[in-house]
Structure 1
């Protein structure tokens, strides 16, 4: 029981510490809404179970013992964070400003009926799930956590896959609950949705932070 409580505390500190996961959720809530953010969270949660499975099967040890493979995973993770961040920033400039020209407004009014008849293009929820999954699964620091810290909470005398799964489930549950709470809190801040300019700046800052984390990951040395 003491091992479970200690692991829960360590996992909680790991989850609530600043990182790409939190920035991803903030970006998604402010730009896309609550539902897409929940799919981000599902992706983070499922990826955590994969990390746990990799650790139990010994794949994390293989990853970290191979310098070339670890470097490849690190570069892929960094490039993905850079891609998400730059894409978020680009989307804010791509959006049409409120002070559009009169000609654009007239064209919009003339085509209003056609726009109503044509369905609005929205990103499928699976895209947000993949975003969350890749953000978590491509983070080599999480692999290092499961290699270095995770085994310390297992019994060396009689290791059990069930005990290991319980710890992984605790970590995944903390991730789900923490980021769900963040999502609900941010979604209640109505002034963000009522002020599009503010929402754009939130998305730009979030994108810049994602780029920052991507750069840090590129410079990170194991």
Structure 2
């Protein structure tokens, strides 16, 4: 048994399942509709695929070596997350809560785009992968095949976890979509995204 691979599986599961901006946008889109939630989940997995590919290619090392580039991407990511927070809070202030999003014809495409951009615009992700993945490459083993395997495990976990979250939210939709509950969920989601966005935005500015 490959002990390092087993250990990485646990680490990858924890990394993917940890609540954050990805989780928040999947929940919000799933409240709009099951298709929008699943599309958002696939978008998040797509963003992770980009990050793991960057880590495998070594581009993440460039971000780590060029602080200005890294901080610029971090500010961009923070602005986008704050935009999502504003949308959620604006929706919470409306009488119909998340229903407004559910009525949009392009809700599914919008969910896919939101999930992808929320994850892809997080510059810390490739740095994290670049620092974590090499620790699980056995000494003497070819780095590229092993790293690709580890990256694949992360993406597979995302493709499993986030759609499950979306389907679970949709399953509870009858209760969660009640106007008062929906507005509360939107308010909590918007607040959480706002905090995450401010952290991303202020960290490079205060560094």
Q: Which residue of 2 aligns with 1:70?
A: 70
Q: Which residue of 2 aligns with 1:13?
A: 14
Question: Whole-Å Cα distance in 2 between the matches of residues 166 and 64 of structure 1?
Answer: 23
Q: Which residue of 2 aligns with 1:106?
A: none
- Which one of 207, 210, 213 corresponds to residue 190 of structure 2? 207
Question: Whole-Å Cα distance in 2 between the matches of residues 12 and 96 of structure 1?
Answer: 36
Q: CA RMSD in A?
A: 1.9
Larger radius of gyration: 1
**Which ranges of 4 or more aligned residues in structure 1 deviate by more than 4 Å?**
94-97
CA 1:81/1:3 → structure 2, altered by over 3 Å: closer, same or farther? same
Q: Give 1:141 deviation, angstroms.
A: 2.3
Question: Whole-Å Cα distance in 1 between the matches of residues 137 and 104 of structure 2?
Answer: 48
Q: Which residue of 2 aligns with 1:180?
A: 163
Contact 2:41 2:166 in 1 (8 A): no
Q: Give 1:159 deviation, angstroms.
A: 2.2
Q: Specify which structure has the bigger relative contact order, considering alpha-carbon pairs within 8 angstroms and separated by 6 or more residues.
A: 1
Contact 1:37 1:183 in 2 (8 A): yes
Contact 1:43 1:131 in 2 (8 A): yes
Q: Calculate the TM-score normalised by the size of structure 2.
A: 0.87
Deviates more, 1:157-166 or 1:76-85: 157-166
Question: Whole-Å Cα distance in 2 between the matches of residues 136 and 71 of structure 1?
Answer: 16
Q: Does 1:192 align with 2:193?
A: no
Q: Give 1:6 deviation, angstroms.
A: 1.1
**Which blocks of at least 5 consecutive residues in structure 2 are unaligned?**
98-102
Pairs aligned (count): 198
Q: Give 1:121 deviation, angstroms.
A: 4.4
Question: Whole-Å Cα distance in 2 between the matches of residues 199 and 18 of structure 1?
Answer: 19
Question: Whole-Å Cα distance in 1 between the matches of residues 156 and 33 of structure 2?
Answer: 22
CA 1:202/1:155 → structure 2, altered by over 3 Å: closer, same or farther? same
Q: Calculate the TM-score normalised by the size of structure 1.
A: 0.82
- DSSP 3-state at the match of 1:157: coil
Q: Which residue of 1 aligns with 2:27?
A: 26
Q: Deviations over 1:180-219 (max 9, x none)?
A: 22222221112123x1221122112101110111112223
Q: Give 1:95 deviation, angstroms.
A: 4.9
Q: Which residue of 1 aligns with 2:100?
A: none
Q: Give 1:156 deviation, angstroms.
A: 4.5
Question: Whole-Å Cα distance in 2 between the matches of residues 208 and 20 of structure 1?
Answer: 11
Q: Deviations over 1:156-181 (max 9, x none)?
A: 52324332222111111111211222
**Which blocks of at least 5 consecutive residues in structure 1 are unaligned?**
98-119
